[in-house]
Structure 1
Amino acid sequence: MSNRNHYYLSVDDIRHARGADPALAWQGASPDDLAAALQESLRGTGLFERWRTLQPDPDEVDMSLAATDPQATASARVADLHVDLDVVTDLPMRVVRPRLNWLIGSSWQLRDMRAA
């Protein structure tokens, strides 16, 4: 049985959506760029490993946060004055949340979550 979830997110101001640390922050400009960056961060460990090396004691980091989903998908579209971001993954929000924060800071909001 699959535990895949569909996360419905929104980003109010994509032009200013940046994480606090430039070494981790998303540097794109379009909704598609953001979706691609998020999808890559969920499918692989690159973003997590960059964050981990910045920690005072990388060996003490909770490695459950390194979980990946090679089948994760992310898509984005402009809707009214914000961007809707749809993510389908088997990763729990406790893993998705920090990756979003590293990429775009607190510029996002979870609107809904359903079984995929």
Structure 2
Amino acid sequence: MSRHHYYLSIADLAHARGDDPRFSYDGVDPRSFATILQQSLRDDGLFQRWRAVQPDPDAVDASLGHADPEAQVSAHLAGLHTEVDLVTSLPMSVVRHRLYLLVGSAWQLRDLRAA
């Protein structure tokens, strides 16, 4: 499987939240965000918790639950925003879903390259 390097930006991590507080990131520190995002990509725990509360869990696209045990995430402040570097074999659809659960639409994809 090919690996991708995603370069992301979050304008205001302290206020970036997903729509549902049960799954949303609730911190302000880039390192803690990187840890939580990395864990959410390395296993399917966040996806399974989200899936369980859907009206028809069996109808949820199972491919959104894929995980990459070797995913690596780092994040740091850069001026007023947070820059996130993510290396994974997961497709953008999975990365996007986990990010939306954690920080809603507060993130932006800056670049994508082969890792």
TM-score, normalised to structure 2, is 0.98
| Distance in 1 of aligned mates of 2:65 and 2:12 | 28
Other structure's SS at 2:19 match = coil
Deviation at 1:89, TM superposition (A): 0.1
Q: Percent identity?
A: 57
Q: Which amino acid aligns with 2:26?
A: Q
CA deviation after TM superposition for structure 1 residue 111, in Å: 0.2
Please state how far the C-alpha of 1:54 moved relative to its aligned partner. Answer: 1.3
Q: In structure 2, what is the equivalent of residue 80 of structure 1?
A: 79
Structure 1 distance, partners of 2:6, 2:99, is 12
Paired position in structure 1 for 2:18: 19
Match of 1:60 in 2: 59
SS of residue in 1 equivalent to 2:93? helix
SS at match of 1:102: helix
Give 1:47's aligned residue: 46
Report the 3-state secondary structure (helix = DSSP H, G, I; strand = E; otherwise coil) of the residue aligned with 2:111: strand
Gaps of 5+ in 2: none
**RMSD of aligned C-alpha atoms?**
0.7
Flag as ranges the 4+ runs of structure 1 deviating above 6 A. Answer: none
Question: Which secondary structure state, in structure 1, belongs to the residue aligned with residue 49 of structure 2?
Answer: helix
How far did residue 13 of structure 1 move? 0.4
Q: Secondary structure at the match of 2:26?
A: coil
> By how many angstroms is 1:28 displaced?
1.9
State the Cα distance separating 1:81 from its structure 2 match.
Answer: 1.2
Aligned partner of 2:93 in structure 1 is 94
1:114 is aligned to 113
Separation in 2 of the partners of 1:80 and 1:16? 16
Listed as ranges, the gaps of 5+ residues in structure 1 are: none
Q: Is 1:10 aligned to 2:3, yes or no?
A: no
CA shift for structure 1 position 76: 0.2
TM, length-normalised to structure 1 = 0.97
Measure the CA separation in 2 of the matches of 1:20 and 1:95.
Answer: 17
Counterpart position of 2:68? 69
The residue type equivalent to 1:28 in the other structure is G
